[in-house]
Amino acid sequence: MTYDFCIIGGGIVGLATAMSLAETRPGASILVLEKEAVLGRHQTGHNSGVIHAGIYYAPGSLKAKLCRRGARKTKEFCSDHGIPFETCGKMLVATNDLEQARMGELVERARQNQITAERIDAAELRRREPNIVGVGGLYLKETGIVDYRRVCETIGELIQKSGGEIELSVHVAGICETPTEVVISGSGREWKAKQMIACAGLQSDRIAKLAGLKIDHQIVPFRGEYYRLPNTKSDMVHHLVYPIPDPELPFLGVHLTRMIDGTVTVGPNAVLGFAREGYPKFSFSLRDVLEYIRFPGFWKTMKANLGHGVTEMKNSIFKAGYLDECRKYCPSLTLDDLLPYEAGIRAQALLRDGTLVHDFLFEETTRMLHVCNAPSPAATSAIPIGEMITAKVVAK
């Protein structure tokens, strides 16, 4: 048979796309292919679980719009399907004058992005978060937390209930687009589809190349390493506590995050990874490393971010450095408070000229759409991303 739509990747973006296609085209035959034995095994299952409000993103940008809409849609979806989530709010903490000034810019950004943000002084910060110190804070009451793996499981059930198929443990290894269909092969099997959508996260550039696309970017893995606080300290913070991000960097800085199961994580940092899917520290894949060191953009980015990269690497190896990052705003933390917790790995697209791609990146052909970069907050934004992809492919 020839499927109407085949989606590669059972992370939250692929699943949200399949769900939206099933809603928009009832009766269409839909197939999701996922190489792991469970859904949401990679970025989606190793993230901070935050439903972002969308304060950081340039007003009017796709990221800003999708995040705001995504936060609302994610909460609605969880309410409709009995998935636990909590709108616990987020406190951004400024620890010096430079961060105070950057916070001022975020207040303006919040206004333009129509996000409720309350600026508070040091005393009020101390009253609301007694274990946190700073010269001021910015409180975002709409930020929430959820387990995105749970969201994936539920979306998977809905896709199957509506007649869609999900094949797990299928590693797509061949894609051939012809004038009439796309032939997809892997794990000794073959499928045909009128249209194919690739949402392969950390493998998205490889899948694009496999499909014959001439792409101008490379995925570089950036580890997001976490610790967790001991259970006795899980009431240390009442909200999610974040530093003020450096606008030059695509990552948000080490934060204290209450997870939906009650654990409080510390992190993630952003350190160059040596394996796309190797979660333990010092994981190494020769293929992954050779690929990015041969890409000209990699060395340009490294040169431009050398100082920051070295600090991140040092803090990754030496826990004391990591602790110092957290103690800037949570001084009572000690080395013993940082317990092991599994890392996540970000798929960061890099252009040939060394630019880090901060926004979504899509590549299209007649019968294919490839999601080449779906950075944070793509878990929050997944439902509207899926709707946007659906609008693109049904219009073909």
65-78 core/surface letters (b: 16 or more CB in 10 A; e: else): bbbbbbbebbbebb
Tell me whether residue 64 or residue 202 sits nearer to ligand FAD (CB atom). 202
Tell me whether residue 53 or residue 236 sits nearer to ligand FAD (CB atom). 53
Tell me whether residue 74 or residue 301 sits nearer to ligand FAD (CB atom). 74
Tell the smallest beta-carbon distance from residue 303 to ligand FAD (Å). 24
Tell me whether residue 136 or residue 376 sits nearer to ligand FAD (CB atom). 376
387's CB contacts (< 8 A; 6+ apart) are 20
Measuring CA to CA, how many Å separate 174 from each of 219, 242, 363?
A: 19, 42, 18
Tokens for 335, please give them. Answer: 């080395």
Tokens for 354, please give them. Answer: 């060394």
Tell the smallest beta-carbon distance from residue 187 to ligand FAD (Å). 9
Dist CA 246 CA 132 (whole Å) = 20
Tell me whether residue 330 or residue 374 sits nearer to ligand FAD (CB atom). 374
H or E stretch including 160? Answer: helix 148-161
Tell the smallest beta-carbon distance from residue 263 to ligand FAD (Å). 14
Nearest residue to ligand FAD on Cβ basis: 11
Dist CA 152 CA 164 (whole Å) = 15
Tell the smallest beta-carbon distance from residue 79 to ligand FAD (Å). 18
Dist CA 231 CA 205 (whole Å) = 40
DSSP string, 191-209: EEEEEEEE--GGGHHHHHH
CB 350 within 8 A of CB 297: yes
Tell me whether residue 136 or residue 175 sits nearer to ligand FAD (CB atom). 175
Site of interaction with ligand FAD (CB under 6 A) = 8-14, 33-36, 41-44, 46-50, 52, 171-172, 199-203, 207, 224, 268, 344-346, 374-380
- Per DSSP, 65 falls in state H
Angle, helices 306-317 vs 319-327, to 10°: value is: 110
Tell the smallest beta-carbon distance from residue 122 to ligand FAD (Å). 27
Tell the smallest beta-carbon distance from residue 123 to ligand FAD (Å). 29
Tell me whether residue 109 or residue 370 sits nearer to ligand FAD (CB atom). 370
Tell the smallest beta-carbon distance from residue 330 to ligand FAD (Å). 19
Q: Provide the CB-side half-sphere exposure for 357 (13 A, CA).
A: 22
